[in-house]
Amino acid sequence: MFCLECGSDNKKMVEDICIDCFLKNFQLIEVPESIDITICSHCNSRLEEGKWHESFIPEPELIYRALERNISINELVENEIIDLEIKNMRGNIAECSVEVMGDVYGEKVNEIYDVSVRILKTVCPTCSKIKSGYYESVVQFRAKDRDIKESEYIKADEIVERTLNKQYMNDKLAYCPYRAKLKEGYDYYIGSLRSGRKIANALKDEFGGVIKESPRLISEDRSTGKGLYRIWISVRIPEFELGDFVRYCEKILQIEDIGKNRVVANDIKTNKKYRIAWNDVEDIELIKKAEDIETVNIISKSPSKIQFLDPVDYSVIDLDVKDGLEDDVGIGDEVKVIKIDDYYLL
């Protein structure tokens, strides 16, 4: 066998030409000399075929990925190693080199290509919404029949921030362009409805309460008749707090736990625990605050009763001791009581 191109007869053959003649016209890869990519100048997301992809990728990485997408490797190449390098940035053009090493019919081949990647910058629709202060929902943080405490506002701000940070991975409209401070509470304006709802739920997880949504028609598309709505989501946290006393179904209960799904409260007469769903919160009436608990000294004791002086008018109060607790209290001991019509021992 001799090469039909060069006539040599002592070389490895690829069909009817020698390996050297074959490699003269062989390329390990195909890659264009120049590549254009369009990215958003705010979030670095990339426009491809009318769709925006991947955001917050650093620019060098965007360039490497553009090169990778545009390289096609010849199927005869084995053990290939591709080395990408940005040699120089000239304005918005990255001058790159693509070095390829690989084996072709057992021969080591090495090639270097120069490729320029041009970065075209624009603003993606999401970022242009954000820049214009666009929002889809307003989360209203309120309390039922009371002022919200400073510590609750601080906690709420933390929850909003934490939730937005978490959401931001999947929702670029997870942002809060405005926060309005009103006398009755804060209004958080939220870019997307999805993240607005997440925030409302996170607030409820922390404080308990009731969530209500009310859509408001903002404008109407005349051609389709479709309305554009913004959703106001109110989170109304309860009037009562931990340790407070409430009336519920004729019973006097002390609030023990406030959770996202229910309130746990303890009957101060029987010690029986009640779990009350937020749907029934309207039936819970606040009657005394935890701060109203008084500490008194026992002045005398009979088998099932204790006596102490009323802190207000110093009259002697006679109080039943709960079953099983008779031996736990003695004369001179301090006990906690709450006055709700009558006194109750806690």
Which residue, chain included where needed, has tokens 């406030």? 258
CB of 42 to Zn ion, least distance (A): 4
Q: Which helix (H) or strand (E) holds 185?
A: strand 185-190
Q: Which of 6, 120, 180, 218 binds Zn ion (CB under 5 A)?
A: 6
Confirm if 66 and 151 have CB atoms less than 8 A apart.
no
Give 6 or 331: the residue with its C-beta nearer to Zn ion. 6
Give 58 or 332: the residue with its C-beta nearer to Zn ion. 58
Q: Which stretch binds Zn ion (CB under 5 A): 11-19, 75-83, 188-196, 252-260?
A: 11-19
Give 31 or 104: the residue with its C-beta nearer to Zn ion. 104
Q: Which helix (H) or strand (E) holds 1?
A: none
Q: What is the largest CA-CA distance in the chain?
A: 126
Q: Which helix (H) or strand (E) holds 201?
A: helix 193-207
Sign of CA dihedral 239, 245, 247, 249: positive
Instruction: Identify the CA nearest to 124 among candidates 43, 56, 48, 70.
Output: 43
Q: Which of 5, 54, 80, 326 binds Zn ion (CB under 5 A)?
A: 5
CB of 175 to Zn ion, least distance (A): 12
What Å distances lie between residue 202 and 155, 180, 238, CA to CA? 11, 19, 15
How many residues sit close enough to Zn ion to count as binding (CB under 5 A)?
Answer: 10
Q: Which stretch binds Zn ion (CB under 5 A): 38-46, 142-150, 277-285, 322-330?
A: 38-46
124 binds Zn ion per the rule CB under 5 A: yes
Give 43 or 66: the residue with its C-beta nearer to Zn ion. 43
b/e for 125-162, b at 16 or more Cβ within 10 A?
Answer: ebbebbeeeebbbbbbbbbeeeebeeebeeebeebbee
Give 8 or 271: the residue with its C-beta nearer to Zn ion. 8
CB of 130 to Zn ion, least distance (A): 8
Confirm if 231 and 215 have CB atoms less than 8 A apart.
yes
CB of 287 to Zn ion, least distance (A): 54
CB of 23 to Zn ion, least distance (A): 10
Q: Which stretch binds Zn ion (CB under 5 A): 15-23, 162-170, 249-257, 274-282?
A: 15-23
CB of 118 to Zn ion, least distance (A): 19
Give 25 or 72: the residue with its C-beta nearer to Zn ion. 25
Instruction: Identify the CA nearest to 321 among candidates 271, 260, 265.
Output: 271
Give 124 or 190: the residue with its C-beta nearer to Zn ion. 124
Q: Give the x/- contact pattern for Zn ion in 39-68, rule: CB under 5 A.
A: -x-xx-------------------------
Give 5 or 326: the residue with its C-beta nearer to Zn ion. 5
Q: Give the x/- contact pattern for Zn ion in 146-175, rule: CB under 5 A.
A: ------------------------------
Quick one: CA torsion of 195, 197, 200, 201, rounded to 10 degrees?
-100
Phi then psi for residue 76, to 5 deg, are -80, -10
Write the DSSP assignment of 45-64 as a string of letters. -EEETTEEE--S--HHHHHH
Give 6 or 325: the residue with its C-beta nearer to Zn ion. 6
Contacts of 31 (CB under 8 A, 6+ apart): 67, 70, 71, 72, 98, 113, 115
Q: What are the residues binding Zn ion (CB under 5 A)?
A: 3, 5-6, 18, 21, 40, 42-43, 124, 127
